[in-house]
Amino acid sequence: MAKFFFMRHILAALDSGRVFKKAYSILLKVIAALIAVAGTALWISTWQEIYKLPDQYSYYYKGIIPAGFVIQLFMLALFYSLIHTLLLRAGAVEKLPETGYVITPIFAVTLKLIGEISACLFSFFGLAGGISIWLAAGNVLRAIGLPDLLSLGGTGFAAGLLTIFTGLLGAFASLVIFYYSPELAGVLADIAGNTRRQPLRAEAGGDEAV
């Protein structure tokens, strides 16, 4: 008769975190698949924009076509990095051990994932923008329909180097901040766990004394 009452098993799965781990892992895989589809479409459409560049910007940017090719290579690396990172984190979530906390371990992985994605984006905009400045005497990301998030102005070697440095610095800062945050959350969770266990030990000691 007990097998017909399924809520016990559902609640046990929720308490152990298995449901949340599986659902979140699937969500990350779905996001990775969406990025793959959207990234492919964006990459193809960007090629179309690159082939139009000589008619629109060749007067301003002499090396705009080589710069466009370099941006496309970095874009491939960006999409690969994002997709593979999401898939790796999806697998890591499924393999999380039981620690007595249900959401905290998943939240910790999420914070690291945010840092890794931010680092990928900062690296792309820094490297693609900086090298395009060197090749085309200007950041051509906006010319091909992409956001120019790290535009600092300027068209010389120093401007390109500064753009690259800003992107890499932003990537490093993202990793430090979002890797430190889950460690801090883990420390607070350990403190909370120790605080919760201390009264139980005190009660056990009092019972033994009696």
pLDDT at 75: 93
Residue 73 lies in a domain: yes
Residue 196 lies in a domain: yes
Residue 27 lies in a domain: yes
Residues sharing a CB contact under 8 Å with residue 24, sequence separation 6 or more, in sequence order: 90, 93, 106
Residue 135 lies in a domain: yes
Whether residue 14 contacts residue 102, with contact meaning beta carbons closer than 8 Å, is answered with yes
Number of domains in the chain: 1
How far is residue 60 from each of residues 21, 51, 78, measured CA to CA in Å? 52, 16, 27
Residue 28 lies in a domain: yes
Whether the pLDDT of residue 60 is over 60: the answer is no
Q: Tokens at residue 24, please?
A: 């979140």
Whether the pLDDT of residue 78 is over 50: the answer is yes
pLDDT at 200: 44
Residue 91 lies in a domain: yes
Nearest CA to 35 among 68, 78, 98, 92?
78
What CA–CA distance (Å, rounded) separates 31 from 186?
26
Q: For tokens 């905009």, what's the residue? A: 125
Residue 1 lies in a domain: no
The whole domain housing 137 covers: 12-209
Give pLDDT tens digits for 125-179. Answer: 999 888 888 887 777 777 777 777 776 666 778 888 998 999 999 999 999 999 9
